């Protein structure tokens, strides 16, 4: 059964590791998404204030501003903004309040990314 695919969305991608950001961007390009990149949360806050995005995808563990701080900042400005938090240690979020709409565990593939995007944007 073919899963629902969402295409052509505006995505703010926030990841401090350049090679990881590049890999995720390439996965998003497979579905014709327009990707705006930020290397940290501070840069992402600035970009978020300058443009509209269909979804924000942010890493959790970043210097200058952690992903949960970025999520809180975005929620204070746009409570309904869809946000996906990506992390290598997803177990730290079990049983805790998380203001992101979804948590995606690294490493992940295109199928997992598509599934979460479809659930948030369809």
Q: Where is pLDDT greater, at 57 or 109?
A: 57
The class level of CATH for 10-121 reads alpha beta
Which pLDDT score is estimated for 95?
46
pLDDT tens-place string over residues 12-66: 999 999 999 999 999 999 999 999 999 999 999 999 999 999 999 999 989 889 8
Burial class of 43 by CB neighbour count within 10 A (0 to 12, 13 to 18, 19+): middle
Q: How would residue 3 be classed by pLDDT, with cut points 50, 70 and 90? A: low
Give domain limits for the chain: 10-121
Nearest one of 12, 66, 18 to 36, comparing CA atoms: 12
Read off the pTM. 0.91
Which pLDDT score is estimated for 98?
61
Question: Distance between alpha carbon 49 and the CA centroid of its chain, in Å?
Answer: 16
Which pLDDT score is estimated for 114?
94
Which pLDDT score is estimated for 2?
52
């Amino acid at each position: 059964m073919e899963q629902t695919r969402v295409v052509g969305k505006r995505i703010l991608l926030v990841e401090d590791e350049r090679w990881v950001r590049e890999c995720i961007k390439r996965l998003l390009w497979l579905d014709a998404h327009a990707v705006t990149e930020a290397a940290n949360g501070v840069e992402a806050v600035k970009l978020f204030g300058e443009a509209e995005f269909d979804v924000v995808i942010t890493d959790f563990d970043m210097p200058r501003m952690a992903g949960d701080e970025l999520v809180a900042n975005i929620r204070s400005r746009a409570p309904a903004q869809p946000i996906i938090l990506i992390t290598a240690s997803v177990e730290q979020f079990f049983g805790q309040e998380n203001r992101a709409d979804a948590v995606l565990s690294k490493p992940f593939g295109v199928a997992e990314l598509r599934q979460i995007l479809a659930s948030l944007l369809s």
